[in-house]
Amino acid sequence: MRCPRCVQTIHRSAAQCPHCGFVLSDLDDLYGSGEVRLRRLSDMAGALRLKERQKLERLLDEFQTSFPQLFFSVYYGALEDRANIRQFGLWLLNHAAYEDLDISRPNDGGILLLVDLNTKVASISFGYMLDSFLTEEDTFNILAKAHPHLLQGNHLKAASVIVKQLSRVLRKKSRRAILQQKIFGPPINQSSGAVNALERIRSNRSNRSAAEQDNFKSIQTTRAVNKEKEP
Ligand SMILES: [Zn+2]
């Protein structure tokens, strides 16, 4: 993972960032140490209309059907400090108590899309269960595809692109991992939790509908050239 403060690569289990000295409890000092009661889709900032919220909720349901241990959550806020969106995202995913999610989906298997309406900057945070399947490069590329829609204030379109692209990456990576496992045997350094998640991802990938595949194609062909994502 990358350090949420200095953005250098650090080991996920590192207690402290070797580059800038960041520790997770620094975030508690900034934002608080308690739980945050949250819904999977939080739109404090009023980014979406009712119909758009319903549409996005359906997309998030589809994501959960495809990935039974994972969930996707979206938070629209009007943050005060642009520089802190990455830190705030990580803190929020660690402290959120989701009212509308079953305990069978722990935050470790969560993906959080955080959108700051003040700066039109978005950030994706994810739990450690996703470490085997997602890289910072993946989330950067996915955010880049949604960036033009964010700039236009089309938040439903931006979130839809992100959920669908992310699902696509997860499916692709899980297929590759399963194939490697079949040929070479299970990787020694992979935790059993990750392998289980992977098995579940694989067993549900047939849920993808033809319509969804068409969507992927159209997204690919309209790939954004603007690579700017976040500070
Ligand atoms: Zn650091």
| pLDDT tens figures, 129-168 | 998 899 889 999 999 999 999 999 999 999 999 999 999 9
Q: Residue 97 forms beta bridges with which residues? A: 37
pLDDT at 84 over 90: no
- In our burial notation (b when 16+ CB lie closer than 10 A, e otherwise), range 160-193 reads bbbbbbbbbbbbebbeebbeebeeeeeeeeeeee
User: Please, are residues 123 and 86 in contact by the beta-carbon 8 Å criterion?
Assistant: yes
Mean pLDDT of the region 5-16: 84
pTM exceeding the 0.95 threshold for the entire prediction: no
CA of 16 to the centre of ligand 1 (A): 8
- Indicate the range of 12-21, 91-100, 148-157 predicted with least confidence: 12-21
CA of 23 to the centre of ligand 1 (A): 8
Can you give the pLDDT at residue 222? Answer: 27
CA of 18 to the centre of ligand 1 (A): 7
CA of 19 to the centre of ligand 1 (A): 5
Can you give the pLDDT at residue 190? Answer: 47
pLDDT at 182 over 90: no
Average pLDDT over the chain, rounded to an integer? 80
Token pair for 27? 């975030």
pLDDT confidence bin for 81, thresholds 50/70/90:
low
Mean pLDDT of the region 22-42: 91
Can you give the pLDDT at residue 72? Answer: 98
Q: Which residue's entry shows tokens 């890289």?
A: 135
pLDDT at 74 over 60: yes
CA of 43 to the centre of ligand 1 (A): 30
Of all residues in the chain, what percent carry a pLDDT higher than 90?
A: 50
Can you give the pLDDT at residue 149? Answer: 95
CA of 133 to the centre of ligand 1 (A): 23
CA of 179 to the centre of ligand 1 (A): 35
What is the Cβ-side half-sphere exposure of residue 115, based on CA atoms within 13 angstroms? Answer: 28
CA of 167 to the centre of ligand 1 (A): 29
Question: Tell me: the pLDDT tens digits for 185-195?
Answer: 765 554 444 54
CA of 21 to the centre of ligand 1 (A): 6
CA of 104 to the centre of ligand 1 (A): 32
